[in-house]
A and B are shown apart, each in its own frame.
Chain A
Amino acid sequence: MVFSSIFFICTFLPVTIALYYLAPHRMRNGILLLASLFFYAWGEPVYLFLMLYSILFNYVIGIDIARKKAGRKRAGISLFFGVLINLLILGFFKYYGFAAENIEALTGWQFPKLTLPLPIGLSFYTFQSLSYLIDVYRGKAQHQRNILSFGLYISMFPQLVAGPIVQYADIDAQLKNREESMDKFGQGVQYFIWGLAKKVLLANNLGAVHEAVTALPSLSVLSAWTGALAYTFQIYYDFSGYSDMAIGLGKMFGFDLKENFAHPYCARSITEFWRRWHISLGSWFREYVYIPLGGNRTGVFRHILNLLIVWALTGLWHGASWNFVVWGLYYGVLLILEKYVLKQRTERIPVLGTIYTMLLVVVGWVFFFSPTLTAACSYLGMMFGAGAAGITDDAGMYYLLTSLVLFWFSWIFAVPAASRIFRESMERPGRFTPLLIAVHMGFFLTAIAYLIHDTYNPFLYFRF
C-alpha cells in the first residue's frame, strides 16, 4: 500500500486513526502494530511471515544479549549471530541474483536460478533491527521486553517501506511513553500534505518528463541534461515527500521522527550535501560502520579506506547492481577529494559552491537511473557531447520549454525560504493563517484530484 493512494488516504488512515484514539493508552501500540502488519500484508502477504520472523528473531536475540551483558564476550557472540542472520536474510533476498551472476561470470560455477521479488522495506527494517541489537549490546538502550512494542518499532507503517531509518536509541522512550496532542496531530497533517503534494504534484510530473526524455531514440546534449535534471528533482521530491509523509503520520500517532532531508540541493559541497540528504541512512552508516572502523581518528590511508568501504556499502545498500556501487564510490572519492584536496573551499563561495555541488549530483544520478553501467556511461557521454545528436534538438527544446515552470517550482521548493515561511506561519498563528490553511487544502485537494486520474506511481525508494 502506498501513502499516495486513495485507499490509504480515504480508508486505511482514517480507520487506523479512529481505532488508535478510541483505544485505551495501553492498547495503542498493539493497534498500531496490527495496522502496520495489515499495511505490509496488503501488497505482499507472503513476506508478512518474513516480517513476523524478523520481529520474533530480533526480539529473542535482544533478550539474549541483555542477559549475557555481564560476560561481554558471550553477549558479543550473540550479537554476531543476530547480525549474521539479519544480513543473511537481506543478502539472500536482495543480493542473491547479483552475487550468483558475478560469481558465474568469474568462475563459471552455476547457481539455481530463482524468482525472488525483493520484500518491500527489507533494507530499511533490517537496518533498524541491526540498530536495535547493537544499541542493546552497547548499553545505549534497554532491551524491549514487550514484543508488541518491539514489533511496532520494526514494522511501524509510517516509515516501514522507505524510512527514515529510526535508530532504536532514538525511539526507545517513545515506544513506552509518548505524548499525543492536537497541536502535534495538526503538525502531522501539515507534514503529510507537504509530502503528498511533493510526491503527486512535483515528483510524478517530473518523472513523466524524465521517462519521456529517456525514451527518445536519440538524445542531444540539451535533452540529456533535461532528462537528468528532471530525475534530479524527481528523486528529491519523491523521497523527501515520502519522508515528510512518514514524519507527519508519526506525529499523528504521537511519534517524533527525525528529519531525513534538509534542503540538500542548496549544499555548497558534496560533504554538505550528504549532511542534508537521506540523513537517517548517513547517520546509520556513521554510527554502525564508519566509527567502528575507526572513522577519521586513524592515519590518512586508513581513513581513505574507511570512507571507500562505507561508500561502497552505501551504494550497495541502494541496490544489487554495479551501478550503485560505482555511484557510492563516486561519492566516496568526491568526499576524499574535498577532505584532503579542496579542504571545504567550495563552502566559502556560496553560489559557485552550490553550482559545483549540483553539477556533480546531477552527474551522480545518471548512475542511479541507468539500467546498466554501460547505459550510464553512454548517457553521461551524451550529456557531454559524445554520441549525442547535436547540442540541441527539437525534442530537447520542447521538453525543456514545457518543463520550465515545473523546474522553476522544483527549485523554489528546494530552497529553505519557502518551507521556512510555511512552517513559521503555521507555528505562530496570525492573520495569514486562514490563507495558509486554504493553501494546504488546495494542495491536498489538487493532489487527490491527480490521484483519482493518475496511474499507479509507487515511490522510487520502494525498490531499495
Chain B
Amino acid sequence: MNRWDILLKLAKVLLAGLLVVMLAGLIRGSARNPDFAVLKANVEAELDLSCMRQGDEQLLRRLYGLNGGELKHWVLYTARDNMDVEELLLVEAAEEGQVSQIRQAAEKRAETQKNNFEGYGPEQLKLIEKYVLWESDPYLLFVISENAEAVKSGFVKGLYE
C-alpha cells in the first residue's frame, strides 16, 4: 500500500465520519413535535363530518371518563344519529404516562359500544369491532368508521409531515 492509497483510505474514513456527524447534528437540530392542528386536519379530511358532531368536555367525561382540562389538546366527534356508531377521538397527552390511561379509556369505550349494539345492530357491531386505536406518544387516535384505516393513514402521515 503506497502513500496515495493510505491518503485515500484516510480521506474516505474522514468523509464517512463527517457525514455521520452532519446527519446526527441535523437529526438533533431538526427534531420537532408534530403539530396537533395538522393531525386534526388530516384525520378530519378522511371522515364525513356532516353525519357527526363535535363533542364537548362534558361528553368526553361521560363517554370516556377523561377530563379534557388535563389533556394538552383533544378533539372528539360522535355520530349525530343514535343508531350510528362513527366516532373519533384524537388526543395529545399533557404528561408522560397519560397516553396509556387514555388508551384504556378508549378500549373501555369500544367495549361499551360493543355491548350496546350486540344482538340488535349487526352492521354497527361489525364496524365497532374494526375500530382503530393507534398510539404514538404523546398522541392517541381512536376511530370507529368505515374509513378507519384511511383516518389512521392520515394521522400517521401527519406525524411526519
Contact = CB atoms under 8 A, between A and B. Distances in A.
Q: Indicate, yes or no, whether A interacts with B.
A: yes
Interface in B62-101: none
Contacts of A67: 4-5, 8
27 contacts: A50-B22, A53-B18, A53-B19, A56-B15, A60-B11, A60-B15, A63-B8, A81-B12, A85-B19, A92-B23, A100-B160, A101-B156, A101-B160, A104-B156, A104-B159, A104-B160, A105-B156, A108-B134, A110-B137, A112-B31, A113-B160, A114-B26, A114-B27, A114-B31, A115-B30, A116-B26, A374-B46
A57 interface: yes
Given A64-B12, A85-B19, 20 more contacts: A49-B22, A56-B15, A61-B12, A63-B8, A67-B4, A67-B5, A85-B16, A89-B19, A92-B23, A97-B160, A100-B160, A101-B159, A105-B156, A111-B160, A113-B31, A113-B160, A114-B26, A114-B31, A116-B30, A374-B150
B159 A113 contact: yes
Given A105-B153, A374-B150, A114 B23 contact: no
A114 B8 contact: no
Contacts, number: 67
Interface in B27-45: 27, 30-34
A200 B22 CA distance: 38
A374 B8 CA distance: 50
A110 B138 CA distance: 11
A53 B19 CA distance: 8
A60 B8 contact: yes
Contacts of B16: 85
Interface string A51-73: 00100110011011001000000
Contacts of A97: 160-161
Contacts of A105: 152-153, 156
A255 to B, nearest CB: 29
A105 B22 CA distance: 28
Contacts of A85: 15-16, 19
Contacts of B32: 113-115
Interface in A84-133: 85, 88-89, 92, 96-98, 100-101, 104-105, 108, 110-116
Contacts of B112: none
B157 interface: yes
Nearest to A93: B26
Contacts of B104: none
B54 interface: no
B58 interface: no
A61 B19 CA distance: 14
B116 interface: no
Interface string B120-152: 000000000000001011000000000000101
A104 B31 contact: no
Nearest to A114: B30
B65 to A, nearest CB: 25
Contacts of A114: 26-27, 30-32, 160
Contacts of B4: 67
B33 A112 contact: no
A281 B153 CA distance: 31
A292 B4 CA distance: 32
Interface string B1-23: 00011001001100110110011
A113 B34 contact: yes
A49 B11 CA distance: 17
A67 B11 CA distance: 14
**5 pairs of A and B residues whose beta carbons are closest in the complex:** A97-B160, A114-B30, A101-B160, A105-B156, A115-B30
